[in-house]
Structure 1
Amino acid sequence: MSDSKPPHLTVLAILPFAVMAIVAAVDVGAGPGVGYLPLVSLGPAFAGLIGGWRRTALIGAAALLLCTALGIYNESYSQRRLYTAMASVAGVTAAGVAAAVMRQRREAELASVRSIAEVASRVLLRPVPRSAGPLRIASSYTSAVADARIGGDLYEVVASPHGVRIILGDVQGKGLEAVETAALVLGAFREAAHEEVDLTHVGARVERVVNRELQGEKFVTAVLAEVAGRHTMTLLNYGHPAPMVVRQDGTTCFPEPLRYAPPLGLGLPDIVGPQPYEVDFVPGDQVLLYTDGVSEARDHTGAFYSLGEHSSLLKDHDPEAALNAIRAELVRHAQGPPHDDAAMLLLRYQER
């Protein structure tokens, strides 16, 4: 990997020296009658933009020497404007050094925060297994928040004694509260997926935890899935977009439940939970679970992204490459980063 600096950083690195050289050339050309010396302070001023305080101090010292040399050359060493120029350079250098120290401290704090956030994201959205039971699996997560590694979307795959169990969900809202809610849902699912014999009981247990812990009007849409080796996939849908099933021959369908249940966390009384339903899932088939950040991505005309029209991108033998192709096409359609978090989970039934 190349260690070369980005072009804009290279420009900023040489800018102080270029500015001082230009000021010196102009001052020599204009002669002692024109007061360009104070502009030498631009050197240490630009030096404070990047690099450490030592570099800023050294460039400030170089600027002072340049002022002295130009004053001697112009035979104005005793003139007041020379001392004024030197005082200006010293003041700007001191301010630049202080700014560089503060910037370095902020950068260190930011690096620490990012390191903690990266660890937290690996704990919360830990990498899914590349294979589980009869499945090959790939995941993709794109956060709508700049530089964020995780937002309010969630997914998990658990190889339990009762089959491979999967969840993919979307937390209402953004920010730290959404991340906390996602952690709550994932924690409840991971425990229930191992202990409960029936997928319906897994969903009910997650729902009880979420209803108990969530406050206000927050909610989570989610779809739970189970593959237990019967060439079928069992689904539970809590108000979430229907998954896309891609058959071996390339045909697609979006199997929906007979009746949608409300999202997790609403805690509505006298509301019956989702009814499980099954879809055929045989070797060569694929199931794509996704959040509405995918299905509701719009282009410049306002048209939604159509997963069904791009299902052919999933033909790649490598599930991760196939999912990356969908993600790249999604970004191209939206002409930039998504306006909402976009999570996808690709489940491919391995051919024996």
Structure 2
Amino acid sequence: MDAGHYLVRLWQRWHSTHALVAIPLMLIAAITLADVRTPGSVHLGPLLVAAPAITTAFAGPRLTGLIGALALGAQTFLAARVGGVATSDHIAQLAGLAALSVFAVLVCYVRDRHKEQLAQVRSVSEAAQRALLRPLPERLGPLHIASSYLAAEKEAHIGGDLYAVARTGERTRVIIGDVRGKGLSAVGEAAMLLGAFQEAAHQHAALHVLADALDRSVHRYLTQFPEADEEAQEHFITALLLEIPDHSPVARMTVCGHPTPLLIRHGTVTGIASPHTAPPLGTWELGPDTPRTAHAFSFLAGDTLLLYTDGVMEARDPTRTFYPLEERVAHCAKNSPTALVYHVQQDLLAHAHGALCDDAALLAIQRSPTAPLGGLHLGDLVHGVGRQVRTHEEHQQTV
């Protein structure tokens, strides 16, 4: 948060607090005036205890103590008018008001301390999220990128969803994933996978080979200390790997148990179905029975890909209806990646009434409309993509 935003929030807080302080002040004045005008047999002074009690709802210990002192002064004034302050009844009233005011100040002090501690925890959480999920660049080669992360826990800023990009030569590689489970173990597994991706993305030429390397890394991590986690064998990470060359209108993806992306082209939204979906990462012991492959599809200048995690599709409204992602994306299909992600994020929160059942991550990638793609015609493009897919499948069968 920059200095300007901090000052604005500080001013708003100060303004709202000092506007609300008029309530206990008016209450003290009204009770005092009413007590003065009523017959001597009617004593309204004990009602002054409401002033410091109300102040604790919006003010700190100092302001609450000041309101308590003013109420005590008003009580003393009223007692002096009828019988004097030294009477046992008035002494009891003053003592009770003083005790309640001190208690109100203590409540404000403890509450503010807890707020400071919570603010520190949030600060650490935000720092951890920035370290784990580093902010993605808005531009990377010919690509425009926008992302969003919504944690299911209201007070949390981090969870088991993940995304990252890596620039390798004249291509961009992307990963988006979802760790099974919650808590610190999920955060640890997400951090491990992101680190492994940033390193392995530069070492393996083929996308499916990169996926195999990540699978082995996750498997080693989950089985390194089996005695520390009895459920380690049940942990896994769904992931989708994407590779986008700078100068070719073709993108490739390897799906490891993860939802496939949506392709937005000329305002039309279509799902990209992968003919081969491999098991999630961390299931390396399954061996060659389920080989991973790279599926090629056209990704033209001006196209946008929307990647997401399960938390987006599984968000429900009060009637238990799932969020219709593809239908809602169609309403903002012509937006920029930043506007698209923001629209889906706000619409998702509105659909779920702010109560997500799982973490939700969104990642929009648009190829610049002016990006040079080697001058291929659309017919050549479709034929080339089909040829790449068939060649790759034949290679897999040979292996």
> TM over 0.5, yes or no?
yes
Write the deviation string for residues 88-138 of structure 1: whole angstroms up to 9, x where unpaired: 111112212222222222222122211111111111112111122221111
The aligned counterpart of 2:268 is 250
Q: List runs of 5+ in structure 1 lacking aligned partners.
A: none
* Residue in structure 1 matching 2:280, options 260, 263, 267: 263
The aligned counterpart of 2:382 is none
Aligned ranges 1:258-297 → 2 under 5 Å: 258=276, 260-270=277-287, 271-297=289-315
Query: For residues 35 and 238 of structure 2, what CA distance do their matches in structure 1 show?
Result: 69
Q: 1:91 to 1:273 in 2, by over 3 A?
A: farther
* Residue in structure 1 matching 2:156, options 137, 148, 151: 148
Query: For residues 269 and 315 of structure 1, what CA distance do their matches in structure 2 show?
Result: 39
Q: Do 1:246 and 1:286's aligned partners in 2 also have CA atoms closer than 8 Å?
A: yes
Query: For residues 191 and 114 of structure 1, what CA distance do their matches in structure 2 show?
Result: 30
Larger CA deviation: 141-150 vs 63-72 = 141-150
Q: Do 1:238 and 1:263's aligned partners in 2 also have CA atoms closer than 8 Å?
A: yes
Q: 1:106 to 1:222 in 2, by over 3 A?
A: same
* Residue in structure 2 matching 1:93, options 92, 101, 125: 101
Query: For residues 133 and 285 of structure 1, what CA distance do their matches in structure 2 show?
Result: 15
Q: What percentage of aligned pairs have identical amino acids? A: 37
Q: Which amino acid aligns with 2:314?
A: E
1:161 match: secondary structure: coil
Query: For residues 335 and 326 of structure 2, what CA distance do their matches in structure 1 show?
Result: 19
The aligned counterpart of 1:323 is 341
Q: How many equivalent pairs are there?
A: 351
The aligned counterpart of 1:309 is 327
Write the deviation string for residues 29-48 of structure 1: whole angstroms up to 9, x where unpaired: 44332343233222223333
Establish whether residue 159 from structure 1 lines up as the match of residue 167 from structure 2. Answer: yes
Query: For residues 265 and 94 of structure 2, what CA distance do their matches in structure 1 show?
Result: 77
Query: For residues 19 and 39 of structure 1, what CA distance do their matches in structure 2 show?
Result: 9
Query: For residues 20 and 218 of structure 2, what CA distance do their matches in structure 1 show?
Result: 51
The aligned counterpart of 1:341 is 359
The aligned counterpart of 2:137 is 129
Query: For residues 281 and 87 of structure 1, what CA distance do their matches in structure 2 show?
Result: 78
* Residue in structure 2 matching 1:65, options 62, 73, 76: 73
* Residue in structure 1 matching 2:241, options 224, 228, 238: 224
Q: Which amino acid aligns with 1:99?
A: V
2:201 match: secondary structure: helix
Query: For residues 90 and 249 of structure 1, what CA distance do their matches in structure 2 show?
Result: 68
Q: 1:299 to 1:55 in 2, by over 3 A?
A: closer
Q: 1:249 to 1:108 in 2, by over 3 A?
A: closer
Q: Which amino acid aligns with 1:38?
A: P
Query: For residues 237 and 170 of structure 1, what CA distance do their matches in structure 2 show?
Result: 12
Write the deviation string for residues 175-230 of structure 1: whole angstroms up to 9, x where unpaired: 33322222222121112113333322322222222212234222211101111233
Establish whether residue 193 from structure 1 lines up as the match of residue 201 from structure 2. Answer: yes
1:166, distance to aligned residue in structure 2 (A): 0.3
1:331, distance to aligned residue in structure 2 (A): 3.2
Q: Do 2:318 and 2:352's aligned partners in 1 also have CA atoms closer than 8 Å?
A: yes
1:147, distance to aligned residue in structure 2 (A): 3.7
Establish whether residue 79 from structure 1 lines up as the match of residue 87 from structure 2. Answer: yes
The aligned counterpart of 2:380 is none
Larger CA deviation: 63-72 vs 41-50 = 41-50
Query: For residues 165 and 367 of structure 2, what CA distance do their matches in structure 1 show?
Result: 14
Write the deviation string for residues 58-102 of structure 1: whole angstroms up to 9, x where unpaired: 222212211110011223433211101110111112212222222
2:268 match: secondary structure: coil
Q: Do 2:239 and 2:280's aligned partners in 1 also have CA atoms closer than 8 Å?
A: yes
Query: For residues 191 and 43 of structure 1, what CA distance do their matches in structure 2 show?
Result: 62
Q: Do 1:37 and 1:82's aligned partners in 2 also have CA atoms closer than 8 Å?
A: no
1:273, distance to aligned residue in structure 2 (A): 4.3
Query: For residues 30 and 175 of structure 1, what CA distance do their matches in structure 2 show?
Result: 62
Q: 1:169 to 1:103 in 2, by over 3 A?
A: same
Q: Which amino acid aligns with 2:280?
A: P
The aligned counterpart of 2:258 is 240
Larger CA deviation: 192-201 vs 64-73 = 192-201
Write the deviation string for residues 142-182 of structure 1: whole angstroms up to 9, x where unpaired: 22221432222111111123621101111222333322222
1:324, distance to aligned residue in structure 2 (A): 1.8
Q: 1:92 to 1:292 in 2, by over 3 A?
A: same
Query: For residues 209 and 155 of structure 1, what CA distance do their matches in structure 2 show?
Result: 17
The structure carrying a bigger helix percent of its residues is 2
* Residue in structure 1 matching 2:184, options 163, 176, 181: 176
1:98 match: secondary structure: helix
Larger CA deviation: 35-44 vs 274-283 = 35-44
Q: Do 1:43 and 1:63's aligned partners in 2 also have CA atoms closer than 8 Å?
A: yes
Q: TM-score, normalised by structure 2?
A: 0.80
Q: 1:9 to 1:147 in 2, by over 3 A?
A: farther
Q: Do 2:263 and 2:305's aligned partners in 1 also have CA atoms closer than 8 Å?
A: yes
Establish whether residue 50 from structure 1 lines up as the match of residue 87 from structure 2. Answer: no
Q: Which amino acid aligns with 1:321?
A: A
Query: For residues 319 and 53 of structure 2, what CA distance do their matches in structure 1 show?
Result: 46
* Residue in structure 2 matching 1:17, options 2, 13, 25: 25
Query: For residues 264 and 7 of structure 1, what CA distance do their matches in structure 2 show?
Result: 53
